[in-house]
């Protein structure tokens, strides 16, 4: 009897004391109430890389982000379904607001890859490549359909201007390999 009185008295006291000292109480109502900056960057980068490796799925999600919540779409695109099963935070973001999440992915692709602020250089590179694409609309169309063409020797052999541009701008070439959506929007 004495033990139950002590334990029933001590637990509420410890709870009140911890709340008064500013300790947080874990909420189980939402499994991921806040992302840390590192987790956020990791998940955004991982998803952006998934999109890079699955251009057909990427195009469909950019057209209509809510497809990530569509059972039929997921059944037909098992890679995305399995990826979302392995990344519950991203799955939850899609459920909450698919369009907003894809906008965050786009923002991250344009500016968040290197972890520091090289905005001016980035803007110059984007503007330079954009001018190149405007001057070469067929190349622009091809790259938007298949960004991996920047690494395709046969394609580069038959498109001398692109080959020379990428040779003269190795930073842009590398960014296109890692993050094509940042340049090909």
Looking at the structure, do residues 40 and 107 belong to the same domain, yes or no?
A: yes
Among 90, 111, 132, give the residue marking a domain's end: 111
**Residue 134 sits in the same domain as residue 159:** yes
Q: What is the largest CA-CA distance in the chain?
A: 88
Q: Are 124 and 33 in contact (CB under 8 A)?
A: no
147 lies in the same domain as 85: no
Query: Count of domains in the chain?
Result: 2
User: Angle 50-52-58 (CA atoms, 0-180°, nearest 5)?
Assistant: 80
Whether residue 10 is contained in a domain is answered as no
Average pLDDT, the chain: 75
Domain contains 16: no
Neighbouring C-beta atoms of residue 84, cutoff 10 Å: 20
Query: 134 and 102: one domain?
Result: no
Tell whether 14 is covered by a domain: no
- Residue linked to tokens 């094509």: 180
77, 70 Cβ separation under 8 angstroms? no
> Does 15 map to a domain?
no
Residues spanned by the domain of 178 = 119-182
Reported as a single tens digit per residue, the pLDDT across 127-153 is 788 888 899 999 999 988 888 888 888
174 and 132 co-located in one domain: yes
Among candidate residues 111, 136, 156, the one where a domain is terminated: 111
Cβ–Cβ under 8 Å, residues 60 and 69: no
Residues 51, 59 contacting (CB under 8 angstroms)? no
Of 87, 111, 135, which closes a domain?
A: 111
Statement to judge: residues 93 and 155 lie in one domain: no
Contact predicate 55/147, CB 8 Å: yes
Q: For residue 168, tell me if it sits in a domain.
A: yes
In terms of domains, do 107 and 147 share one?
Answer: no
Triad 42, 150, 120: Cα angle to 5°: 60
Q: Which residues of the chain have pLDDT under 50?
A: 6, 15, 18-19, 21-39, 114-120
Using CA atoms, how far apart are residues 79 and 56, in angstroms rounded to an integer? 11
Residue 68 sits in the same domain as residue 40:
yes
**128 and 102 part of one domain:** no
User: What whole-number distance in Å separates Cα of residue 154 and Cα of residue 157?
Assistant: 5
pLDDT attached to residue 112: 58
């Amino acid at each position: 009897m004495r033990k139950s009185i002590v334990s029933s008295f001590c637990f509420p006291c410890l709870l009140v004391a911890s709340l008064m000292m500013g300790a947080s109480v874990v909420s189980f109502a939402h499994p991921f109430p806040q992302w840390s900056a590192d987790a956020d960057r990791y998940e955004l980068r991982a998803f952006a890389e998934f999109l890079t490796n699955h251009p057909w799925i990427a195009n469909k999600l950019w057209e209509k982000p809510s497809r990530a919540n569509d059972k039929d779409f997921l059944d037909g695109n098992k890679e995305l379904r399995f990826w979302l099963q392995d990344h519950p935070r991203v799955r939850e973001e899609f459920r909450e607001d698919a369009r907003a999440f894809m906008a965050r992915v786009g923002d991250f692709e344009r500016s968040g890859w290197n972890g520091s602020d090289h905005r001016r250089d980035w803007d110059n590179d984007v503007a330079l490549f954009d001018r190149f694409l405007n001057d070469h609309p067929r190349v622009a169309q091809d790259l938007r359909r298949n960004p991996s063409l920047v690494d395709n020797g046969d394609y580069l052999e038959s498109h001398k201007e692109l080959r020379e541009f990428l040779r003269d701008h190795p930073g842009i070439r590398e960014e296109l390999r890692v993050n094509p959506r940042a340049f090909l929007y």
